[in-house]
């Protein structure tokens, strides 16, 4: 099945990612018109418009030097294949090899000096061991990807607008995106190329961050911080969560690290409380790890990939 066909079908009302995975086989050729007529006949009159939009998306992605990777493509990340509701299509610009071994390192936009220092330390280490994934926004995200003012290599930025980011993202966000591309990194989006950031797109991008990552590290967050959205999505994936613990600083005992302490003190109950009172039975991280030093960095790499050496 062609990429254009997938782009058409994902616009059909009622054809979500789960339905498409259950009903579309890479090895079987199908006629899009017949497929829609069989499953959603009321949508047939809209197919011409859907096809026009699909061709526009392909043109816009090509104009941006971006690739469209569908769930039928061998380039589709393996960590997404096991997730039924992962997007049917992602748009990627840059080095797609970076999708093979990914850790999400996230935290508050309202970071402190201590949080920023820890973020840079993590960025310097993990960028040499695997790919770092986050949303490239201000605060912890930005300090993870920049050490001493220089963008680290091997960054996967998941953006909350379309891959035509010069027209879809904010000026500050754009600066970080372009720095990642210049450093040989990768930008990923699940939105159509021209879709602008909005009040809902951030949560969708947070889900994709979680889905792309083999492990997640929370650097710094208050108990009301926005990191809860990425963590909520990640907690359903049976992958390890690392949480920074820094007891030797009195600042760690303040609210700016409130979510860190909550999770480490209460475990899954703390996670449930942080993300809004969710049923703890719905949360399934493979483990929760306190990260205090480089030795824990090394352990966390092994928990994610079961390897003892650098992946690059």
Task: Tell me the three-class secondary structure of the chain, residue by residue.
Answer: CCHHHHHHHCCCCCCCHHHHHHHCCCCCCCCHHHHHHHHCHHHHHHHHHHHHHHHHHHHHHHHCCCEEEECCCCCCCHHHHCCCCCCCEEEEEECHHHHCCEEEEECCCCCCHHHHHHHHHHHHHHCCCCEEEECCCCCHHHHHHEECCEECCCEEEECCCCCCHHHHCCHHHHHHHHHHHHCCCEEEECCCCCCCCCCCHHHHHHHHHHHHCCEEEECCCCCCCCHHHHHHHHCCCCCCEEEECCCCCHHHHCHHHHHHHHHHHHCHHHHHHHCCCCCHHHCCCCCEEEECCHHHHHHHHHHHHCCCCCCC
Summarize pLDDT for 119-131 with one digit per residue, the tens. Answer: 999 999 999 999 9
Whether residues 257 and 122 fall in one domain: yes
CA–CA separation, 10 vs 174, rounded Å?
A: 28
Using CA atoms, how far apart are residues 87 and 197, in angstroms rounded to an integer? 17
Q: What residues make up the domain containing 21?
A: 3-67
Q: Are residues 109 and 241 in the same domain?
A: yes
- Residue 284 and residue 298: Cα distance in Å, rounded? 22
The answer on 150 and 27 residing in a single domain is no
d(CA 251, CA 116): 13
Model confidence pLDDT, tens digit, residues 20-56: 988 988 767 889 999 999 999 999 999 999 999 999 9
Q: Is residue 202 part of a domain?
A: yes
- Both 252 and 298 in one domain: the answer is yes
Tell me whether residue 215 is in a domain. Answer: yes
In a domain? residue 87 = no
The encoded tokens of residue 135 equal: 């949303």
**Strand 146-147 to 150-151 pairing:** antiparallel
Residues 169 and 266 in one domain: yes
**Residue 309's pLDDT is what?**
42
268 token code pair:
């899954």
Q: Helices 201-212 and 227-234, interaxial angle, to 10°? A: 50
Residue 138: CATH number of its domain: 3.40.50.450
pLDDT per position as a tens digit, 239-263: 999 999 999 999 999 999 999 999 9
Q: Kindly state whether residue 44 falls inside one of the protein's structural domains.
A: yes
Domain contains 82: no
Determine, yes or no, domain membership for 76.
Answer: no
Q: Are residues 144 and 235 in the same domain?
A: yes
107 and 172 fall within a common domain: yes
pLDDT score for 198: 87
Count of domains for the chain: 2
Report CA 58 to chain centroid distance, whole Å: 22
Q: Verify that 101 and 61 share a domain, yes or no.
A: no
Residue 42 lies in a domain: yes
Question: What's the pTM?
Answer: 0.94
pLDDT in tens, the chain (312 residues): 889 999 999 999 999 999 998 898 876 788 999 999 999 999 999 999 999 999 999 999 999 999 999 999 999 999 999 898 999 999 999 999 999 999 999 999 999 999 999 999 999 999 999 999 999 999 999 999 999 889 999 999 999 999 999 999 988 899 999 999 999 999 999 999 999 998 889 999 999 999 999 999 999 999 999 999 999 999 999 999 999 999 999 999 999 999 999 999 999 999 999 998 767 778 889 999 999 998 899 999 999 987 434 444
Which of these three, 52, 67, 82, is where a domain ends? 67
- 67, 87, 116 — which closes off a domain? 67
**Domain termination site, one of 28, 47, 67:** 67
> Is the same domain home to 16 and 133?
no
User: Is residue 22 domain-shared with residue 150, that is, in the same domain?
Assistant: no
163 and 211 part of one domain: yes
CB 135 within 8 A of CB 272: no
State how far the Cα of 166 lies from the Cα of 74, in Å rounded to an integer: 29
Same domain, 51 and 123: no
Handedness of CA 108, 111, 114, 119 (dihedral sign): positive
Rounded to whole angstroms, the Cα distance separating 190 from 66 reads 12
């Amino acid at each position: 099945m062609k990429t254009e066909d997938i782009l058409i079908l994902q616009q059909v009302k009622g054809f979500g990612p789960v339905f498409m995975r259950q009903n579309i086989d890479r090895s079987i050729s199908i006629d899009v018109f017949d497929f829609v007529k069989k499953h959603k006949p009321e949508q047939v009159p809209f197919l011409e418009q859907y096809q026009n939009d699909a061709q526009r998306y392909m043109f816009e992605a090509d104009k941006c030097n971006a690739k469209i990777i569908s769930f039928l493509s061998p380039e589709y990340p393996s960590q997404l294949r096991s997730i039924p509701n992962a997007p049917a299509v992602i748009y990627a610009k840059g080095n797609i090899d970076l999708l093979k071994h990914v850790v999400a390192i996230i935290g508050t936009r309202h970071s402190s000096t201590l949080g920023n220092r820890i973020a840079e330390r993590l960025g310097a280490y993990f960028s040499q061991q695997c790919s770092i994934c986050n949303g490239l926004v201000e605060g912890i995200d930005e300090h993870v990807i920049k050490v001493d003012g220089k963008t680290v290599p091997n960054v996967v930025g998941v953006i909350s607008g379309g891959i035509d980011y010069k027209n879809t993202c904010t000026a500050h966000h754009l600066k970080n995106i372009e720095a990642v591309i210049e450093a040989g990194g990768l930008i990923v989006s699940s939105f159509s190329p021209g879709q602008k950031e909005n009040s809902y797109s951030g949560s969708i991008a947070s889900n994709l961050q979680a889905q792309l990552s083999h492990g997640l590290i929370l650097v710094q967050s208050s108990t009301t911080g926005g990191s809860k959205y990425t963590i909520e999505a990640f907690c359903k994936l049976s992958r390890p969560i690392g949480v920074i613990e820094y007891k030797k600083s009195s600042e760690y005992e303040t609210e700016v690290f409130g979510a860190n302490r909550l999770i480490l003190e209460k475990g899954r109950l703390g996670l449930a409380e942080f993300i809004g009172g969710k049923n703890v039975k719905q949360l399934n991280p493979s483990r929760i790890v306190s990260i205090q030093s480089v030795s824990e960095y090394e352990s966390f790499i092994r928990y994610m990939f079961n390897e003892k050496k650098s992946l690059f």
